[in-house]
Amino acid sequence: MSDRYLRFVESGFGRWFSRKAGLPQPVSLLRAAAGEPKLPTLVGGAPDSPLRATLDRLLAGMHLPDAPYAPKIHALIYDASGLTSIEALSDLYQFFHTHVRRVAGNGRIIVVGTPPEQASDASARIAQRALEGFVRSVGKELKRGITAQLLYLDPADPAAVDSTLRFFLSYRSAYVSGQVVRIGPPPAPAPADLDYSQPLKGRRALVTGASRGIGKSIAQVLARQGADIVALDVPAAEQGLREIAHRTHGQYVALDITAADAGAQLLGHGPFDIVVHNAGITRDRTLAKMSETEWSSVMAVNLLAPQRLTDALLAGNGLKPQAAVVCVSSISGIAGNLGQSNYAASKAGVIGLVQSLAPRLVAIGGSINAVAPGFIETEMTAKIPLGIREAGRRLNSMSQGGLPVDVAETIAWLADPSSRGVNGQIVRVCGQSLLGA
């Protein structure tokens, strides 16, 4: 659905009027289609830290221009891994205070820290924890499509930051901001011959709810990155399924994921390298008016089915070694939402599912994570009454709704075989929504 206000603000009069009236000022976000950023990246922090050498090597491999004196830059990266005291945080302040005005629209702020629980002493833990508040505030402050993230990197394997750094520097992460991502040593090394333009090449990916909306976009983005798609949806959506299978040169399965034999049926289509539990439904009603069917149907599709299917795939060798499972939660599951006690419970349960299954996925060298979308422009959100829809769209740091492709790109990053150090986590794709922040 098109965002008319965004187009208005981008006109000369609209920009002038929205400024005068103190209204939100969204800008068109650059996405993967814009290619790779052309402006330089500036790295700050202790020049001799063990992480710094890794960052410099990774950035050199990305062939980004290196121009410390360029008037405009794409990204500021600060290596905070060595900050061990509250006083030392002033160096973080100095770096960003000096350079932040140089960050171009659609630019990136990335702070890399040490997980507080792994810091050397109490002072270091405090300093590392302080980074969260800093990054989240910067994300809210900068606007112009600039995102800000904090990456807590296990010092045991700094190179594990690679795919995550690439994702957050790129325009693929357009609608992800204010996130804290933890990266540990991966359970198995990433393939040495990985093609960065098609990191999912030859990998078999199951996507549920793939006939339309976000699921359709997930199938397309995973296919663009080389995956062999198995698109799944209910039998009633067979027409859409056939189309997406055709477009992605993949296969489709018409199956209700709540069917008693769904797990057994899926084993016949595996084994999979990637499983995306995207299918979901809403049956909104305030609690006193909510029927038992409205409660149980939402639980069955959104929570019980992902749990049963993942269990069946794990038990029946339906997941290949180093497989990635990605679930789709929601910011409703984090913040709660009026009239959505069933939906929010199911999506919060998805977070519990991810956290509880993470050790089992590690045992096969894999990972399980969830994305939590905020307001995404889909058929579902187009039906929301105008006033509530406008509030949902604007109450975030980007002052606009996300697109299905934003969720899909985030899932593709988590599915990338070199992202296995990211496990058991929830990444919001919400433009830093104020809800549940």
Min dist CB 421 to ligand NAD, Å, is 25
Read off the amino acid at residue 228.
D
Tell me the C-alpha distance between 63 and 307, whole Å: 42
Handedness of CA 309, 160, 163, 180 (dihedral sign): positive
Which C-beta is closer to ligand NAD: that of 129 or that of 283? Answer: 283
Calculate the CA dihedral of residues 152, 157, 160, 164 and round it to 10 degrees: 20
Which C-beta is closer to ligand NAD: that of 103 or that of 403? Answer: 403
Min dist CB 197 to ligand NAD, Å, is 27
Q: Which of 131, 200, 301, 309 binds ligand NAD (CB under 6 A)?
A: 301
Burial class of 273 by CB neighbour count within 10 A (0 to 12, 13 to 18, 19+): buried
DSSP letter for 237, please: G
Which C-beta is closer to ligand NAD: that of 55 or that of 234? Answer: 234
Near ligand NAD by CB under 6 A, which window of 14-22, 192-200, 210-218, 360-368?
A: 210-218
Contact call for residue 278 and ligand NAD (CB under 6 A): yes
Burial class of 28 by CB neighbour count within 10 A (0 to 12, 13 to 18, 19+): middle
- CA distances to 248, 290, 415 from 200, rounded to whole Å, are 13, 42, 8
**343 included as an active-site residue:** yes
Q: For residue 81, give both structure tokens.
A: 């891994």
Near ligand NAD by CB under 6 A, which window of 19-27, 187-195, 204-212, 312-320?
A: 204-212
The DSSP element (H or E) to which 104 belongs, if any, is strand 103-113
Near ligand NAD by CB under 6 A, which window of 16-24, 163-171, 231-239, 352-360?
A: 231-239
Q: Which of 212, 393, 420, 428 binds ligand NAD (CB under 6 A)?
A: 212
Which C-beta is closer to ligand NAD: that of 178 or that of 373? Answer: 373
Which C-beta is closer to ligand NAD: that of 53 or that of 236? Answer: 236
Min dist CB 374 to ligand NAD, Å, is 7
Min dist CB 81 to ligand NAD, Å, is 33
Q: Which of 114, 173, 211, 432 binds ligand NAD (CB under 6 A)?
A: 211
Contact call for residue 358 and ligand NAD (CB under 6 A): no
Min dist CB 269 to ligand NAD, Å, is 14
Handedness of CA 97, 99, 102, 107 (dihedral sign): negative
Would you call 327 helix, strand, or coil by DSSP?
Answer: strand
Tell me the C-alpha distance between 216 and 388, whole Å: 26
Min dist CB 401 to ligand NAD, Å, is 8
Contact call for residue 325 and ligand NAD (CB under 6 A): no
Q: Provide DSSP, 183-201.
A: E---SSPPPTT--TTSTTT
Min dist CB 301 to ligand NAD, Å, is 5
Q: Which of 121, 193, 292, 379 binds ligand NAD (CB under 6 A)?
A: 379
Q: Which of 18, 54, 128, 208 binds ligand NAD (CB under 6 A)?
A: 208
Q: Provide DSSP, 263-314.
A: HHHHHTT--EEEEEE---------GGG--HHHHHHHHIIIIIHHHHHHHHHH
Would you call 365 helix, strand, or coil by DSSP?
Answer: coil
The mark string for 380-419 relative to ligand NAD (x by CB under 6 A, - otherwise) is xx--------------------------------------
Given its phi and psi angles, is residue 325 left (phi above 0), alpha (psi -120 to 50 degrees) or beta? beta
Q: Which of 56, 132, 243, 256 binds ligand NAD (CB under 6 A)?
A: 256
Tell me the C-alpha distance between 59 and 166, whole Å: 9
Residues of the shown chain interacting with ligand NAD in the complex, contacts defined by CB under 6 A: 208-209, 211-215, 233-234, 237, 256-258, 278-281, 301, 328, 330, 373, 375-376, 378-381
